[in-house]
Chain A
């Protein structure tokens, strides 16, 4: 038991900084830029995406031996879209305040590539337990990255934090920070800080999971050659 724990814990913590889905794997950029204008929105989106990610990771991992390789992507998309819709119905029915806050972003989780990325890059090759841990870790990493950006953008761009005005700067906020250009600006800054933290821990960038490589499927992938063409 202790042995499994020591093996599972890194699966959880790697999502925080080392393989942070937003800042290191550069997945889910679109929802990140769109929702990081307010802290409440960021936390709500992070939690909703985490819940969906844990469910889909577990389901896809459990079905990994049943789903044929040829049709894996349609299978994943079907499962992910259904789970998102189920969560959407439940939130609408029982948590109307969160439904109001998340609005269009809840259905957008379907196309959040963190979910599909982890399904295809991790859950289909690992046990259910490891996949759940990966989902929790990735979800926390996503929420943390989103919140860090949202704090910067909301304080600078709206002069408030969590919807509460900050005296002194709320009268004249720097509006560009809640507009798309400011989003990219803050994204770059936070990413730089995260890279600094990740490198300081002594792991080279090349330690990132091969399946998350955007060049996968192209000829000349060294990892693919090394593994005899089994990756791409």
Chain B
């Protein structure tokens, strides 16, 4: 009888103990690293903004000086010597393996100046991930939301990834246009 009880209870007790220890370890590591992880994400976003508008300073009031802000916190105005020179918008769209995150730079006429991919880690390495290359992304420079997908020179065999970038860029443009339009800023 007692042998039976042991044979049934022991595995359950050991498994429970292992689960508790593992859960505690996970919680501990999460606590230790979460600040650092948030810091890394913020650093990556700041780095991308600086790459879009070298030497500019950034403000979250849109258009600059009005005090209106993007309710989603995705849009920043770039300022040089106090004058607005453009906007940086973070946006995401579905690629092949998940969301592709991009940051798009716009000039004051809301035309794309530059696209930077923040996260395309779920795209196929060596294939879909070729969309992060600067020379491929440079085709978006000068376009606006009227650009059709037919105009994109997609990466061969990576249609979903190419379309993901296109959709994210268009979404960023529309997001910005809606914001600026709302504020009556126009150009």
Q: Which residues of A are at the interface with B, using a C-beta cutoff of 8 A?
A: 34-35, 37-38, 41, 63, 66-68, 70-71, 74-75, 78-79, 81-82, 85-86, 89-90, 92-94, 96, 99-104, 153-154, 157-158, 175, 178-179
Contact = CB atoms under 8 A, between A and B. Distances in A.
Contact of B14 (A34, A71, A99, A100): A71
Interface residues of B, number: 30
B14 A93 contact: no
Interface of B: 10-12, 14-15, 18-19, 22-23, 25-26, 29-30, 32-33, 36-37, 40, 44, 97-98, 119, 121-122, 124-127, 156-157
Nearest to B24: A82
Given A37-B126, A154-B126, A100 B119 contact: yes
A93 B15 contact: no
Contacts of B11: 68, 70-71
Contacts of B156: 175
A28 to B, nearest CB: 17
Nearest to A35: B125
A81 B85 CA distance: 48
Contacts of A70: 11
A89 B33 contact: yes
B40 A92 contact: yes
A89 B32 CA distance: 9
A79 B22 CA distance: 7
Nearest to B126: A37
A66 B14 contact: yes
A72 to B, nearest CB: 9
Contacts of A158: 126
